[in-house]
Amino acid sequence: MEEVRVGKEVHDKNMTVTKDFSRVENGYKMEAEVCITFSDFEKMQNVCNLLIEKLGGSINISPPHFYHAPEAVHTLRCEVCLAAVENTRQKAQEVCQLFGQALGKPLLIREEETKEWEGQTDCHLSDSSDSLTMQQRIERATIYASSRVFAIFEIKGKEKRKNKLI
């Protein structure tokens, strides 16, 4: 039996191994189930490819189960809110330029609405995850978020430069 090491790709805290021994004729048979939690899809693919390369037909790799850690969802919410504030500032800047004004500091910024949803809700996709392609499974598991903000900025008149004749 060959031992396969996945090296730096997987930390012990992200992996659980369950072993089952049984007697078969004059010997023993061991089956092992290895569950690994990945935060990087590409790393997961690399590890699966390595296992298939090393263990061939003696391995069965189940399709991945996707989930989002609460910390990741919180980080996404923060990033989306910051992007909404930046978009609001840029639009306010464009309006000020249109009227020959200068945008000042923000006086009030308030997040009014945050929405999150998972995957695309295409009616033509079946509910059975077994019939979905890997790309469809990824699309269904992807989290999307939006944020609507309200902002009030200070508006400054542009200072006119005085030309001095010497």
pLDDT, tens digit, for every residue of 39-77?
888 888 898 899 899 888 888 888 888 888 899 999 999
Q: Do both 44 and 84 map to the same domain?
A: no
What confidence tens digit (pLDDT) does each residue in 87-122 have? 999 999 999 999 999 999 999 999 999 999 988 655
> Do the domain assignments include residue 163?
no
Q: Is the pLDDT of residue 78 over 90?
A: yes
Count of the separate structural domains present in the chain: 2
Q: Do both 37 and 112 map to the same domain?
A: no
Number of other CB atoms surrounding residue 89 within 10 Å: 16
What confidence tens digit (pLDDT) does each residue in 120-152 have? 655 455 556 567 888 888 888 899 999 999 999
Q: Hey, what amino acid is at 28?
A: Y
Range of the domain at 84: 70-157
Q: Do both 82 and 146 map to the same domain?
A: yes
Beta strands in 44-162 (DSSP E): 101-118, 143-157
> Do the domain assignments include residue 2?
no
User: Do you know the residue count of the chain?
Assistant: 166
CB 103 within 8 A of CB 70: no
Q: Is the pLDDT of residue 19 over 60?
A: yes
pTM of the model: 0.64
pLDDT of 137 reads 86
Q: pLDDT tier at 1 (50, 70, 90 boundaries)?
A: very low
pLDDT of 90 reads 97
Q: Which two tokens stand for residue 134?
A: 């890997």
Torsion angle in degrees (nearest 10) through CA of 129, 41, 37, 147: -80
> Do the domain assignments include residue 27?
yes
Our CA angle for 120, 126, 132, nearest 5°, is 75
Residue written as tokens 């542009």? 158
